Amino acid sequence: MWNKGNKVVLAGSPIVEEMKMGSNATQSDMVPGRLVVRDTSDESVKEAPANTTQPAGWIGYEQSHPAHRPSDRTTAYSSGAYIPVLRGPGVVLISEITSSSITKGDLLVSAGNGKLTKATFDATTNSLQYVAVAIALETVDASTVDKECVVMSLI
């Protein structure tokens, strides 16, 4: 079992880039641990849409400047805030699962709003339908209610 505490990164050393919440971001979706994509410039991000093929990274928490940091890791950043965007394969972090029941070891893809869901395999092409961004490190049933999950980043 993981000791989650009030942090996003549980293991590993991510690459951290401070970026601005983009003008097209939905402020309530800019929660630590969620997946983000480039917004209108290389310096701005917004929440990742479903099935994104170009994830920019994960929203950090404990890496943020105190002036921009939310009160806890389950609270969204304020509009226009500068947020830490984390990258690095093998980094273990807390993210959010939606609309699926996952098992430890499942590949995860973007489900929209920066959240994740279980990847599906296309038997016709013998490949994943979308870009896998993480591997589940615990079993979680989020089929009816969104839940936190410890994941290992692939990006």
pTM over 0.75: yes
Nearest to 19 by CA among 70, 60, 50: 60
Residue 104's domain comprises 94-153
* Sequence-separated (6 or more) residues with CB below 8 Å from residue 130: 51, 52, 53, 109, 110, 119, 120
Domain count, the chain: 2
- Domain end call among 42, 74, 89: 89
Kindly tell me the burial class for residue 154, based on how many C-beta atoms sit within 10 Å of its own C-beta (0-12, 13-18, 19 or more).
Answer: middle
Q: Which two tokens stand for residue 95?
A: 């993210």
Q: Tell whether 56 and 104 lie within a shared domain.
A: no
Structure tokens at 77: 């950043």
Position 54 in a domain? yes
Q: Report the number of secondary-structure helices (H) and strands (E) in the chain.
A: 0, 15
Alpha carbon 152 to chain centroid, angstroms? 10
pLDDT tens track for 34-47: 999 999 999 999 99
Radius of gyration of the chain (CA): 14
pLDDT digit string, tens, across residues 116-131: 999 988 888 888 878 8
pLDDT at residue 151 in the model: 98
- Average model confidence (pLDDT) across the chain: 94
Domain contains 136: yes
Band of pLDDT at residue 113, cut at 50, 70 and 90: very high
Are 132 and 138 in contact by the 8 Å Cβ rule? The answer is: no
> What pLDDT score does 130 carry?
86
pLDDT tens digit sequence for 73-112: 999 999 999 999 999 999 999 999 999 999 999 999 999 9
Does 123 lie in the same domain as 62? no
Residues 57 and 71 in one domain: yes
